[in-house]
Amino acid sequence: MNFQQGLSGLNATSKNMEVIGNNIANAGTYGAKAGRAEFADMYANSIGTTNNNNIGIGVQVAAVTQQFSQGSVVSTSNMMDVAINGRGFFQLKEPSGGLVYSRNGQFQVDSQGYIVNSQNQRLQGYQADKEGVIETGVKSDLQLSMSGIAPQATDKINMTFNLDSRSKVTKPATGAVIDFDDPTTYNNATSVQVFDAKGQPADITYYFQKSATDTWNVYATLGATPLNGTAASPTPMLSDLKFDSTGLNPTLAGVPLDKFTLPDIPATDTNSLISGVKVDFTDSTQFGATFSVTDLNQNGYAPGQFASLNIGEDGVISARYTNGLTQPSGQLEIATFRNPQALSSLGGNAWVGTLQAGDPVTGTPGSGTLGVLQSGALEESNVDLTGELVNMMTAQRFYQANAQTIKTQDSMLQTLVSMR
């Protein structure tokens, strides 16, 4: 009697139960992938025979492979949690210097500013310089700077507005050319905040005064102080600004409106001297509609301290500062493999590359066949718990059946031994 078949079946089914048990144990592990036991039959080979009536000698576990299907993505309250939606692995450097791969995006920032996981493995990507320019192609440990951002003085103002062509002329025929305290001497006003080299703000107010048909004077003040002229005799910043018959193409004799320089903003108790600010009014109009400012921006800002960060779909890590400025701090690089099932599992939600898996193909999230990222979310295990419970019951029946073949053969052998 040959007990080999039943014994191999018991061993194989026991291994299958181990795989099922491991899947169930990791059903709540973020980034974990289900394993699958793959079986192969066994035959004894006889040299020099062509007999096709060989009876198999049992079963063996040919391989235990992991299934890299997408797990469900669930939201969390931690913006450092990151999920990959699609193909790809996070690249992590171990303290020893080796590179491993993971789908678990539970990250944090250590005392040195490096982005790490619970195993103190450092996330890999592209670093950004102090100006926020990402140095793509140079992979390194991602390190966030928690320092503040220096101020920048304003040197450019872009402003787009519409002046109402139906407005009446408000330039006084006699007396003072304009009285900033008297709204009847001008038509409209608007303000813009600019910054000096120390990040100290200064509020500039523009006054628009219609002087003739399709012609306007523009005054500028810092508080009650005109930037041109004196308080008693202010001078327009722009004199005789003209529009064509269609209300477009504002022009100023001899000075292109995209290169006009704002008069020096004097120093006060709250700001230092600001000079050389370029002003661009070229897209402004004069239509038969109420006065409105449709675009107003300047490139200066106050100093700011680090407030929070966000990771975009493309892996760009954006730092937000208390002055409202957002600046890139780096970008994640992820990797994929031609044969991910050949990766070797290390435990701790990590795999290491093998020759059979092929060389890693790296890139930014969303490029090529790589998946995109979702910040404030994690990928759950792809284990189907219901399916695993059914598989466990099936494995139990297989184990019982194999045990029954051994029991039956034992009974047959006992009968043979008992013959007289």
Q: What is the pLDDT of residues 315-339, one digit of tens each?
A: 999 999 999 899 999 999 999 999 9
pLDDT at 47: 54
Q: Residue 60 is which amino acid?
A: Q
Per-residue pLDDT for 46 more than 60? Answer: no
**Structure pTM?**
0.78
Give yes or no for residue 193 having a pLDDT over 70: yes
Dump the DSSP string for 372-395.
Answer: EEEETEEEPP---HHHHHHHHHHH
Dihedral sign for Cα atoms in the order 178, 184, 186, 189: positive
pLDDT of res. 254: 62
Sign of the Cα torsion 72, 75, 78, 82 reads positive
Over range 288-317, report the average pLDDT: 94
Residues near 33 by beta carbon (within 8 Å), at least 6 away in sequence = 66, 67, 68, 69, 71, 103, 381, 382
Written as six digits, the tokens of 358 are 């092929």
Burial of 350 (0-12, 13-18, 19+ CB in 10 A): buried
Residue 149 pairs in a beta bridge with 304
pLDDT band for position 180 (cuts 50, 70, 90): very high
Q: Report CA dihedral (221, 225, 231, 233) to the nearest 10 degrees.
A: -30
Mean pLDDT computed over 60-74: 93
Beta strands 344-347; 89-93: pairing state:
unpaired
Read off the tokens for 18. Answer: 């181990």
Residue bearing the bigger pLDDT, 137 or 374: 374
Domains, the chain, ordered by start:
4-69+382-417 (no CATH), 75-149+306-333+359-377 (no CATH), 156-298 (2.60.98.20)
Q: How far apart are CA 263 and CA 255, in angstroms?
A: 14
Do 386 and 392 touch, CB atoms closer than 8 A? no
User: Which pLDDT score is estimated for 30?
Assistant: 96
Task: Quote the CA–CA distance of 373 and 379 in Å, as a whole number.
Answer: 10
Helix axis angle, 4-25 relative to 385-417, nearest 10°? 160
Higher confidence at residue 255 or residue 348? 348
Read off the pLDDT band of 369 (50, 70, 90): very high
Calculate mean pLDDT across residues 156-183: 94
Q: Assess contact for 112 and 403: CB atoms under 8 A.
A: no
Say if residues 88 and 335 touch (Cβ distance below 8 Å): yes
**Residue 103 C-alpha from the chain's centroid:** 16
Q: What are the Cα distances from residue 352, in Å, to 26, 62, 78, 342? A: 19, 21, 27, 10
User: pLDDT at residue 87 above 80?
Assistant: yes
Q: Residues 263-288: pLDDT tens digits?
A: 999 999 999 999 999 999 999 999 99
| pLDDT for 415 beyond 90 | no
